[in-house]
Structure 1
């Protein structure tokens, strides 16, 4: 259930119209890293964890709804930046106002240039925001990413918030409007906040690595293949212990020779790890059973009825209470 409050979450303002920046800002309205993408991604992901992970479901729905609020802020800002375009285009019966606005060759050339920057504003949308990115590509559901596994989805969302934050950071460079800047800074800051929320939610799920259920093959999980020659660098990604599983990194300096010596890695041995194929298969079964039982228990029908909300349970509880009072 959604309830729309007509005031914006943040008081968006602009000091003057700016068709050019309105075009750039479309990137966060209908682009692949924009607010609609984020809202729909988190909204869709939430369905899969409604029963098994009710706390994370609540978080996903709250953030998804806030992203719709951010979409409204972006749309309102674009509309204000297009002030003047909408009204002039409605003057279809009399060209006098438009002629006045385009008084002089320079003014006409400016108008034509603005139209060419984004013809949709002038020819199709009538001076309103369009669900496209900044170069006119229509919004697509293909932007949405979700794997149906909460730990994987949360990692995807951390990446989504990172990309959106960077877009706002770049947008800030292309406007001098102090009011627009304050809205962009607010929206950018909320991306940082959501990043932390998703990260915290991921850490709250144990175990959360690797994403999914099946464990990795111990023969290959800690191998670093030096696939380029030249200035080779060492770091925590190829020396010391791996950050998630605590295995010792194995640096393979000559990958081609290693492949040839091990029959295409089929004969590769596990080194620098306590994990074995036997322990991996045991962990696979243990985690599979745990996740299966958790989901089935959470989705078990109450009184022979599957109910998304608690209405059915409340009705049954009321019946039982009434019977006790008779």
Structure 2
């Protein structure tokens, strides 16, 4: 159930119209890293964990709903930046008013040029936000990412928040309006907050690595293939122990020869790890059984009926009424 509160989550303000920046801001309205993408991604992901992970479901729905609030802030800011455009476009009988609003002939010609690049924003929309990115590409559902596995989805969401944060950071460079920057900084900060929420939720699920259920092949999980010529660099990605599985990194300095010597890696041996094929298969079966039991128990029909919601307050109220 959604309930719309007419006041914005953050009091967005604009000092003066700015048609050009309004168009740039569309990137966060209908772009691939924008607020609608985030809202729909978290909203869709939440369905899969409603029963098995009710706490994470609650978090995903809360953040998805907040993202819709952010979409409203972005849309409201765009509309304020377009102040005057909507009315002047309606004044079809006198084009001189639009020329004056755009500060003369040169500005009007620039406006027309932009309209040719993105006609929907300047001509078809009539001066209102559109669900497109900044160059007019329409929003589409292919932006949404979800794997149906909560640990994988949370990692995708961490990436989504990172991308959105960077877009806001870049947008702030293209406006001198301190009020607009104030709103953008709020929105950018909430991306950082959500990043941390998803990260904390991921750490709350044990085990959470690797994503999914099936374990990795111990012959290849700690191999580092040196695939380039020139100076070699060392770091925690190719020396010492791997961060998650604590296996010793095995550096293959001559990949071509190594592949040839091992019959295309078919004869590769596991080194630097205590895991074996037998232990991997055992862990696969164990985790598969555990996750299946979690889902089955959480989704088991009650009295032959599957119900999405349990209206505890209504049930309690009826119970007290019948006493």
TM bucket normalised to smaller: over 0.9
Take 1:14 and 1:193, find their aligned partners in 2: how far apart are those partners? 25
Distance 1:276 1:103 in 2: 73
Distance apart, 1:317 and its partner CA: 11
Q: Report if the CA contact (8 A) 1:213-1:287 is conserved.
A: yes
Cα distance change of structure 1 residues 107 and 257 upon mapping to structure 2, 3 Å threshold: closer
Structure 2 CA distance for aligned equivalents of residues 213 and 153 of structure 1:
14
CA distance in 1, matches of 2:19, 2:113: 10
Matches within 5 A, 1:177-326: 177-311=177-311
CA distance in 2: counterparts of 1:320 and 1:293, whole angstroms: 35
Mapped partners of 1:42, 1:318: distance in 2: 34
| CA distance 1:163–1:301, shift in 2 (3 Å) | same
- Who is 2:69 aligned against? 69
What SS does the corresponding residue of 1:161 show, helix, strand or coil? helix
1:210-265: CA deviations, max 9, x gaps?
A: 00000000000000000111011010000100000000000000111111111110
SS at match of 2:40: helix
In 1, distance between residues paired with 2:102 and 2:259?
71
Distance 1:178 1:317 in 2: 51
Query: What is the alpha-carbon distance in structure 2 between the residues aligned to residue 68 and residue 36 of structure 1?
Result: 7
Deviates more, 1:97-106 or 1:292-301: 97-106
Distance (Å, rounded) in 2 between the aligned partners of 1:284 and 1:20: 54
Query: Would you say the 8 A contact 2:85–2:98 is kept in 1?
Result: no
Query: Partners in 2 of 1:32 and 1:41 — Cα distance?
Result: 11
Aligned residues: 323
Match of 1:131 in 2: 131
Per-residue deviation, 1:90: 1.1
Q: Is the 8 A contact 1:220 1:270 kept in 2?
A: yes
Segments of 4+ moved more than 2 angstroms = 92-122, 311-322
What secondary structure, in the 3-state scheme, does the structure 1 residue paired with 2:138 have?
coil
Question: Are the counterparts in 1 of residues 84 and 101 from structure 2 also a CA contact under 8 Å?
Answer: no
- Structure 2 residue 10 is the aligned partner of structure 1 residue 10: yes
2:84 equivalent in structure 1: 84
Q: Counterparts of 2:190 and 2:94 in 1: how far apart (Å)?
A: 45
Mapped partners of 2:118, 2:195: distance in 1: 32
CA contact (8 A) 2:224 2:249 kept: yes
8 Å Cα contact 1:239-1:249 kept in structure 2: yes
Deviation at 1:112, TM superposition (A): 2.9
Q: Distance in 1 between matches of 2:105 and 2:298?
A: 70
Tell me the alpha carbon deviations over residues 108-156 of structure 1, each in whole angstroms, 9 at most, x when there is no partner: 4354345346432331001000100011100010000000000000000
Superposition TM-score, scaled by structure 2 size: 0.95
How well do the aligned residues superpose, as a CA RMSD in angstroms?
2.1
For 1:147, the equivalent position in structure 2 comes to: 147
Give the Cα separation in 1 of the matches to 2:313 and 2:278. 44
Q: How does the TM-score come out when normalised to structure 1?
A: 0.94
C-alpha distance in 2 between matches for 1:276 and 1:202? 27
Q: Give, in whole Å, the separation in 2 of the partners of 1:270 and 1:317.
A: 62
Bigger mean CA deviation after superposition, 85-94 or 204-213? 85-94
In structure 2, the gaps of 5 or more residues are: none
Question: In 2, distance between residues paired with 1:173 and 1:316?
Answer: 55
In the alignment, the residues of structure 2 paired with residue 194 and residue 107 of structure 1 have an alpha-carbon distance, to the nearest angstrom, of: 40
Distance 1:26 1:282 in 2: 50
